[in-house]
Amino acid sequence: MTLKRAAPPQLAALACRGCGASLQIRAPGRSLTVACGGCGAVLDARDPDYRVIATYEAQRSLVPRIPLGARGRLKGETWEMIGYLTRRTTIEGETYTWFEHLLHHPTAGLRWLVEYGGHWTLSKPAAGAPVARPDHFVEYLGEHYHHFQTATATVAHVVGEFPWQVRVGETATVDDFVLPPAILSRERTHAETTWSIGEYLEGEAVWTAFGLPGSPPERVGVGAAQPSPYAPRSRRVGYLLLGFLAVAALIQLAFLLFAQQRLVLDATWEYHPRVAATGSVQSEPFTLTGRTANLVVEVSSSLAQSWAYFTLTLVNEDTGASRTFGRELAYYYGTDSDGRWTEGTPWDRVWLPALPAGRYSLLVEPESPRAVNYRVRLTRDVPRALWMWLAMGLLVAPPLFFWWRQWSFEYRRWQESDHPMGGRTEEDDE
């Protein structure tokens, strides 16, 4: 399908009063001034003789990104580039430059295509004046825009035609408010205040629209209105995380419901260091039933200001196989200048995984410098919450990394503003 392009606007030709170069007016009735890029003369487009109202030193090295007269299709309309100006501001001794391309359409009117650091926005006059809100916000058409930056913009270079009497060196105070991908700008001079609303564009879209050679300028940093590539997916990532965490919790709950959690041994003994018979005791045989599952061994004692070491051996009475493990208990307490303190605990727990069903007995060999009473409890098939927490930790890691990248993107955006994240400016302090 062939796109129907808008009819070209009626052109008015004139000769520059400064250097005699041929100039054209592409927006008759709208343009107030025409700037010659050759000699720097600014002509009054409403004067029958197109008199010179200002001059400046033309900078031939500053060539518009989009040539004057180029036509391209953006947002469903065909626009012609009729004017170009360079504006600058100085903040804390550093000069920043951006470029504004004035586009014209016979019926849709005028638009500004602004480029700074490889970031592009297409702006038009705002429908009405936004309403100021507390904490650096303004409200426009029901949306809240956050103040991004205030700067004094100075016109440094002009070429083409403009709907006002533009002059090199003229200044205006520009306030930008953002709600990516939209940017709301207020421009104030001694004579008037105007508002415009813009939308972020990709450089590739601009290059394609105007059929420009090569590639668009490389983007530097994060643009004020550049949409975050993470924001559209942030809510979905949150929902997926909640869903996976719920599944992990349900799996743990299922294990809790179907696990045996059966106490198979609960024995109490006493150890005396001087009584050899208490140095080794063995329980009565007990039976582990059901599927292969874990066994929780809990050892508690009457320890106080002392330690004890228990060597435990689980013996399979049917096969003769054994598994030996040890647990050390220590418990001390007291008071000092900082108050009451404790160290260690008089109990411990260990998980023995994957024990098959069968008849077992437990051999206990304690050691301690003091007499101690102790108790050993064995519980069959106990779901371990540790695995659920490990699973949840693994599930949380990717979303946390995603949200960190999202936060980093916004951090880099706002570091270029008057309200950097994690820091205060002099304006905030005032």
Q: How far apart are CA 231 and CA 421, in angstroms?
A: 17
Return the pLDDT at 8: 37
Residue 397 lies in a domain: yes
The answer to whether residue 293 sits within a structural domain is: yes
Task: At 140, list the tokens.
Answer: 């426009």
pLDDT in tens, the chain (430 residues): 222 233 334 445 555 655 555 566 665 555 555 666 656 566 555 666 555 555 555 555 567 889 888 999 999 999 999 889 999 999 888 899 999 999 999 888 899 999 999 999 999 999 888 999 888 899 999 999 999 999 999 998 888 888 777 888 889 999 999 999 999 999 998 888 999 999 999 999 999 999 999 999 999 999 999 999 999 999 999 999 999 999 999 998 988 888 899 999 999 999 999 999 999 999 999 999 999 999 999 999 999 999 999 999 999 999 999 999 999 999 999 999 989 999 999 999 999 999 999 999 999 999 999 999 999 999 999 998 888 889 999 999 999 999 999 999 999 999 989 999 875 444 444 4
- Return the pLDDT at 16: 62
How many Å apart are CA 299 and CA 276, to the nearest integer?
21
Respond yes or no on whether the N-terminal peptide bond of residue 181 is cis (omega within 30° of 0). Answer: yes
| Tally of structural domains, the chain | 3
The model's pTM is 0.73
Q: Would residue 4 count as lying in a domain?
A: no
Task: Give the amino acid at 355.
Answer: L
Residue 7 falls inside a structural domain: no
Q: Give the tens place of pLDDT for each residue, 191-210.
A: 889 999 999 999 999 999 99
Task: Provide the residue range defining the domain that includes 251.
Answer: 233-255+387-429
- In angstroms, rounded to a whole number, what is the distance separating the alpha carbons of residues 401 and 407? 10
Residue 248 shares a structural domain with residue 348 = no
Q: Are residues 369 and 422 in the same domain?
A: no
Q: Please compute, for residue 90, the number of CA atoms within 13 A of its CA located in the half-sphere on the CB side.
A: 4
Q: Are residues 237 and 221 in the same domain?
A: no
Q: Output the pLDDT for position 31.
A: 57
Instruction: Give the β-pairing of 193-201 and 71-74.
Output: unpaired
**90 and 159, same structural domain?**
yes
Planar angle of CA 419, 425, 430, nearest 5 degrees? 110
Q: Nearest-CA neighbor of 224 among 155, 172, 174, 177?
A: 177
Same domain, 160 and 17: yes
SS3 state of residue 390: helix
Cα separation, 402 vs 70, in Å, equals: 41
On whether both 20 and 52 belong to a single domain, the answer is yes
Same domain, 115 and 220: yes
210 and 61 share a domain? yes
421 in the same domain as 359: no
